[in-house]
A and B are shown apart, each in its own frame.
Chain A
Amino acid sequence: MTSSNLSTPLTAWHRANGARFAEFAGYDMPIQYTGIVAEHQATRTAAGLFDISHMGRLRFDGPRADQLLDHLLTRRVTDMKIGQVRYSLVCNEEGGILDDVLVSCLESPSSGQSYFLLVVNASNREKIVKWFQPHLADFPDVTMIDVTDQTAMIAIQGPKAMEICKPLFSTPIEQMGYYKARVTQQMGKATIVSRTGYTGEDGLELIVKAEDAQRVWENLILSGREAGILPVGLGARDTLRLEASMPLYGHELDETIDPFRAGLGFAVNLGDRRFVGSEALESLKSSQAVAVRVGLKLDGMRAARQGTTIIDSDSRVVGTVTSGSHSPTLNQPIAMGYVEPAMAVENLALDVDIRGSRVSAKVCPIPFYRRKSS
């Protein structure tokens, strides 16, 4: 099959293994292999393997790389130590969210120098590179290299992910804490490994050279075969992150949404810091919220998809759904959305308008799913 869309270093493997594809952020990405529900359950009970090579990867080198990023991210970067990972936002001057990112502080094995790696959303990669470029002029000793195309990114997630990975790495990765990262080797292949994910499960995200991707992927499939590992497409990645109530750019987040409305105030470090958007964020933090991100559980089996209106008992529109799907874990439809603050009350009965019919829903705490602590 030919396509003008971008591919990842693992696309050939996905095709050979029966994946169904759809376009996502310009890439042909696997949506499912065995089925969304089977892949979702495998990740919740054993392990799932995800090709997330479409995510953007930007590397920052130079003695003042931390200061450049500190100026552009809502989260403090200047106090980060080697091996730390932080979730942060990139905001515009008005405090609107340009992207949500993971920033890691790593040590180059060859030079011994520290550097930063920023993982950005595939759909925002070009926008973020353009946003950063003018600021680089103020930091002439800092270089930004887009390493997305020369690398691949693989996530392994689930309660058995760590035991599957343990024998493959040259360092004891199981001793690495949550939101920690390091440069190591998987079966002789240089790998950046971080204990992070987008499913609500324990697990790792790996970055390897593009030419090593298939070998690393197959090593994980082999090591996880007995444990019940499955390759997982973007379909189940979405239902997993929805149950874990993690925001998705283009759904819960966009340039009209500020971090506080999105419930991501923890990713904004104000105080003595000055960064792009900090003034707007100071005033947004102290002003009355106009909307709040909530969870909804629906009656029946029909899902409320993005854009569905949320209505109160007086038939007044009080909000909009941003993501919604059947939840394989709860076996009922769930949704996230923004409602007026007065409506963000646990168990409050609201309606959603699904293509002209009213369906009852209840406001519920998020996340919908939380893994048992091991």
Chain B
Amino acid sequence: MTIDPKQLRYASTHEWVSVDASGVATIGISAFAVQELTDLVFMALPKIGQKVSAQQEFGEVESVKAVSPLYSPVSGEVVEVHSALVNQLEILGEDPYEQGWIMKVQLSDPSEVEQLLDYPAYQKQCGEAA
């Protein structure tokens, strides 16, 4: 599987989403978010079977400086969690779009994905924030 950041959808809170043919969304955080956070030391992940809702907190990421919530860009049930990531957060800096995925969610409302930002819109938002 090769993930092209240009093909992903993004939440304004910097999470990315990639949906496969069976309606399972892979979710992570963008390279811009990782760069802004810097010096990550901790990540709290959800549990398999947990229900998540769009725009609701599902976990947190902590840097030396501060704690930031992670928001789910979509609604559904968590079917897989990248638990190995917690002990190697540096992966997020190297490869946030493949090795750095955080969780997979079985979508309960696939139409939510359409409401997320596409790559140009997300880039524009990051440009305005920088």
Binding site for B on A (CB under 8 A): 31-32, 35-37, 235, 239, 300-303, 305, 325-326, 328, 333, 355
Contact = CB atoms under 8 A, between A and B. Distances in A.
Interface stretch (B23-31, B38-46, B104-112): B38-46
9 contacts: A35-B39, A36-B38, A37-B64, A303-B62, A303-B67, A305-B67, A325-B64, A326-B62, A333-B41
A328 B64 contact: yes
B64 A36 contact: yes
Interface in B59-92: 62-65, 67
Contacts of A31: 65
Nearest to A333: B41
Interface of B: 38-39, 41-42, 44, 62-65, 67
Contacts of B63: 36
A205 to B, nearest CB: 24
Contact of A37 (B39, B44, B62, B67): B39
A239 B65 CA distance: 9
B64 A239 contact: yes
Nearest to B42: A301
A331 to B, nearest CB: 9
A235 B42 contact: no
A305 B65 CA distance: 10
Contacts, number: 36
Nearest to A236: B64
Contact of B64 (A235, A300, A302): A235
A37 to B, nearest CB: 5
A326 B67 contact: no
Given A36-B65, A37-B64, A235-B64, 15 more contacts: A32-B38, A35-B39, A36-B38, A37-B39, A235-B65, A301-B41, A301-B62, A302-B42, A303-B67, A305-B67, A326-B41, A326-B62, A328-B64, A333-B41, A355-B67
Closest 6 CB pairs of A and B: A301-B42, A326-B41, A36-B64, A326-B64, A37-B39, A36-B39
A35 B40 CA distance: 11
A32 B66 CA distance: 13
A326 B39 CA distance: 10
A305 B63 CA distance: 12
A302 to B, nearest CB: 5
Contacts of A239: 64
A259 B11 CA distance: 49
B41 to A, nearest CB: 5
A36 B62 CA distance: 13
Contacts of B41: 301, 303, 326, 333
Contacts of B65: 31, 36, 235, 325
Which of the listed residues B44, B62, B65, B67 has the most CB atoms from chain A within 10 Å of its own CB? B65
Contacts of B62: 301-303, 326
B54 to A, nearest CB: 22
Nearest to A331: B41
A276 B16 CA distance: 59
Contacts of A300: 42
A326 B66 CA distance: 10
A53 to B, nearest CB: 21
A330 to B, nearest CB: 12
Contacts of A325: 64-65
A333 B63 CA distance: 11
A211 B41 CA distance: 40
Contacts of B67: 302-303, 305, 355
B101 to A, nearest CB: 20
Contacts of A333: 41
A31 B36 CA distance: 12
Contact of B38 (A35, A303, A305, A328): A35
Contacts of A302: 42, 44, 62, 67
Which of the listed residues A31, A300, A303, A305 has the most CB atoms from chain B within 10 Å of its own CB? A303
A326 B61 CA distance: 13
Contacts of B39: 35-37, 326
A24 B65 CA distance: 14
A326 B64 CA distance: 5
Nearest to B66: A305
Which of the listed residues B41, B44, B62, B64 has the most CB atoms from chain A within 10 Å of its own CB? B64
B108 to A, nearest CB: 26
Contacts of A37: 39, 64
Contacts of B64: 36-37, 235, 239, 325-326, 328
Nearest to A38: B39
A189 to B, nearest CB: 34
